[in-house]
């Protein structure tokens, strides 16, 4: 049979088998905008948010609905929101971030109602966007009562985990090299401020979680789940949980070693790409750092993970300092974001990243976005919009740039060029104070045609020998695609 015909029959067959739930393959060509629900948009007064105080600042689900144009305007076709369940407080601090579960059957009243969550879900779906919800199965919120002994004494605080047998006895995680310690002990230093660690070996706990996640996904038509603290629960807990969810799952294993994180892809679809995060940050935190470490990591990820394209790439999130707090060089920032948007994997951009928010570690990286006024003309907003337009345009192109693993074509102390399908990406670490930089690339795999840099709209030709010289300005990257393939993209007047 003709190969193309066979492939399209296969695609038709597999989409017929898929029900309404969004699978890994449906998430792979999406770009995700990560939201801290309390800090993204409010329907109330846009009061200033004191980050140190760790209070609710007023962001809510209805606020997100009102700002979907802002998100979709940048080209995102999926959002990830904070955990939605009601949370505990702790001696004046609150669960504004959503990770301190109290009652897993009720929606956090600070964020809205069950109907508000349903309304967000349908507002997204009517725009062709997907909803990802953050979920936590490892622990509940701190007890806020000053428990004095090792076992959980205030279990009546929680729903449905109200029996001491639902919890591991208190011990604090002291040794991250001891997997048993990481799984069985509590995050936090004392029973007072620690996160009561659920006994995820207890079949009653397992059953409650599996039926809960199934209900959450179906009640709110959730398309994907981000799973918290994955390495703190035994690996074989997860297959039952994610199959009960029945949608794409992406787990958080906060660790930089691909050999440690990789095996978790045996138990869920995707992982946040922490192994990539550290070399990516180092490649762009200063000028002229070279790209060998980053390139080696891209390769190492290929050998350690079952499906690198299902990993979620990011430069910022709620647990790490924002990139502009590491360097004020805007060109380096733009290059790092460009890798997130074009490299192998699913791009995730953290709210505020598009406005170059510069907060440091938790809690300073959780600014209220209403302070920005949501401008849609800021440089990174426009940059992200352009690359996302290209992603949309090439989503079903025959050269398949989004699903083709990158091939490195050129690498020096301050430039790296790689190709995915016919998309050619040239990154620079020369910095914002550099002048023009010419990167000459030669490869028989380049299409012999005119290429347009969709960022600057400059054009460059690949000559018959397969060489192209790309000029970069002021340390900014270039994202090139055959000019003839840009029709209808809205890019560079096409």
Q: Which segment (208-216, 227-235, 243-251, 292-300) binds Ca ion by CB under 5 A? A: 227-235
Containing 214, the helix (H) or strand (E) segment is helix 203-220
When the beta carbons of 23 and 255 are compared against ligand ABC, the nearer one is: 255
Q: For 167, which DSSP code?
A: B
When the beta carbons of 73 and 256 are compared against ligand ABC, the nearer one is: 256
Q: Is 197 in the site for Ca ion (CB under 5 A)?
A: yes
Give min distance, CB of 121 to ligand ABC, in A: 23
Give 179's contacts (C-beta < 8 A, 6+ positions apart).
none
Inter-residue contact 31 to 391 (CB < 8 Å): yes
Find which of ligand ABC, Ca ion, none residue 355 binds, CB within 5 to 8 Å per kind: none
Find which of ligand ABC, Ca ion, none residue 255 binds, CB within 5 to 8 Å per kind: ligand ABC
Q: Which residue is nearest to Ca ion (CB)?
A: 232
Question: Which of 29, 37, 101, 138: binder of Ca ion (CB under 5 A)?
Answer: 138
* Other CB atoms within 10 Å distance of the CB of residue 51: 18
Give min distance, CB of 318 to ligand ABC, in A: 5
Say how far apart CA 322 and CA 314 lie, in whole Å: 11
Give min distance, CB of 157 to Ca ion, in A: 18
Size of the site for Ca ion (CB under 5 A): 4
Residues that bind ligand ABC (CB under 6 A): 54, 97, 99, 136, 176, 195, 228-229, 252, 254-256, 278, 318-319, 362-363
When the beta carbons of 242 and 455 are compared against Ca ion, the nearer one is: 242
When the beta carbons of 183 and 252 are compared against Ca ion, the nearer one is: 183
Q: Is 228 a catalytic residue?
A: yes
Q: Which segment (77-85, 104-112, 117-125, 228-236) binds Ca ion by CB under 5 A? A: 228-236
User: Per the residue annotation, which of 228, 329, 367, 453 is the catalytic one?
Assistant: 228
**Torsion sign across C-alpha atoms 376, 380, 382, 384:** negative
Q: Quick one: angle between helices 114-126 and 203-220, nearest 10?
A: 60
User: Per the residue annotation, which of 38, 134, 223, 252 is the catalytic one?
Assistant: 252
When the beta carbons of 97 and 386 are compared against ligand ABC, the nearer one is: 97
Residue with tokens 């060109």: 331
When the beta carbons of 197 and 453 are compared against Ca ion, the nearer one is: 197
Find which of ligand ABC, Ca ion, none residue 197 binds, CB within 5 to 8 Å per kind: Ca ion
Say how far apart CA 399 and CA 409 lie, in whole Å: 17
Q: Three-state SS for 89?
A: coil
Q: Is 232 in the site for Ca ion (CB under 5 A)?
A: yes
Task: Write out the DSSP string of 234-257.
Answer: -GGGHHHHHHHH-SEEEE----S-
Find which of ligand ABC, Ca ion, none residue 154 binds, CB within 5 to 8 Å per kind: none
Phi/psi at 453 (5° precision) = -80, 110
Give min distance, CB of 351 to ligand ABC, in A: 14
Q: Which residues partner with 198 through β-bridges? A: 167
Q: Which segment (23-31, 138-146, 206-214, 417-425) binds Ca ion by CB under 5 A? A: 138-146
When the beta carbons of 31 and 255 are compared against ligand ABC, the nearer one is: 255
The closest of 304, 298, 305, 327 to 411, measured between CA atoms, is 298
Where b means 16+ CB within 10 Å and e means fewer, 163-197 reads: eeebbbebeebeeeeeeeebbbbbbbeebebbbbb
Biggest CA–CA distance in the chain, Å, is 76
Inter-residue contact 36 to 351 (CB < 8 Å): yes
Find which of Ca ion, ligand ABC, none residue 176 binds, CB within 5 to 8 Å per kind: ligand ABC
Give min distance, CB of 473 to ligand ABC, in A: 34
Interacting residues toward Ca ion by CB under 5 A? 138, 183, 197, 232
Catalytic residue numbers read: 228, 252
């Amino acid at each position: 049979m003709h190969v193309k015909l066979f492939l399209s029959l296969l695609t038709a067959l597999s989409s017929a088998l898929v029900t309404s739930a969004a699978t890994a393959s449906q998430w792979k060509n999406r770009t995700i905008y990560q939201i801290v629900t309390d800090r993204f948009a409010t329907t109330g007064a846009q009061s200033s948010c004191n980050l140190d105080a760790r209070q609710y600042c007023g962001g809510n689900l209805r606020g997100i609905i009102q700002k979907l144009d802002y998100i979709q305007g940048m080209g995102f076709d999926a959002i990830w929101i904070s955990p939605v369940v009601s949370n505990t407080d702790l001696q004046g601090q609150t669960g504004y971030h959503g990770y301190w579960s109290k009652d897993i059957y009720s929606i956090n009243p600070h964020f809205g109602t069950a109907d508000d969550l349903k309304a967000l879900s349908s507002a997204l779906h009517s725009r062709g966007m997907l909803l990802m919800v953050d979920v936590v199965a490892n622990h509940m919120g701190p007890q806020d009562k000053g428990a004095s002994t090792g076992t959980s004494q205030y279990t009546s605080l929680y729903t449905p985990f109200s029996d001491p047998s639902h919890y591991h006895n208190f011990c604090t995680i002291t040794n991250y090299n001891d997997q048993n310690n990481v799984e069985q002990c509590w995050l936090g230093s004392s029973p007072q401020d620690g996160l009561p660690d659920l006994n995820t070996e207890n079949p009653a706990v397992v059953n409650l979680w599996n039926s809960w996640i199934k209900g959450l996904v179906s009640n709110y038509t959730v398309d994907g789940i981000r799973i918290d603290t994955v390495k703190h629960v035994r690996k074989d807990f997860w297959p039952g949980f994610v199959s009960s969810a029945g949608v794409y799952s992406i787990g958080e294993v906060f660790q930089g070693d691909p050999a440690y994180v990789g095996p978790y892809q045996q138990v869920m679809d995707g992982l946040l790409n922490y192994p990539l995060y550290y070399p990516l940050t180092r490649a762009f935190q200063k000028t002229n750092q070279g790209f060998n470490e980053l390139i080696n990591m891209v390769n190492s990820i290929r050998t350690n993970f079952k499906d690198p394209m299902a990993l979620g790439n990011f430069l910022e999130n709620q647990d790490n300092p924002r990139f502009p707090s590491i360097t004020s060089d805007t060109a380096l920032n733009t290059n790092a974001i460009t890798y997130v948007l074009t490299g192998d994997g699913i791009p995730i951009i953290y709210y505020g990243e598009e406005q170059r928010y510069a907060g440091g570690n938790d809690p300073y990286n959780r600014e209220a976005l209403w302070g920005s006024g949501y401008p849609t003309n800021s440089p990174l907003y426009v940059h992200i919009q352009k690359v996302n337009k290209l992603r949309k345009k090439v989503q079903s192109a025959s050269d398949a740039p989004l699903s083709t693993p990158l091939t490195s074509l050129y690498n020096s102390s301050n430039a790296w060029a790689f190709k995915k399908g016919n998309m050619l990406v040239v990154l620079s670490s020369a910095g914002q104070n550099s002048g023009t930089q010419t990167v000459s690339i030669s490869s028989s795999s380049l299409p012999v045609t005119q290429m347009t840099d969709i960022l600057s709209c400059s054009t460059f030709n690949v000559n018959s020998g397969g060489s192209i010289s790309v000029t970069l300005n002021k340390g900014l990257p270039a994202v090139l695609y055959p000019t003839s393939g840009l029709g209808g993209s809205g890019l560079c007047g096409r």
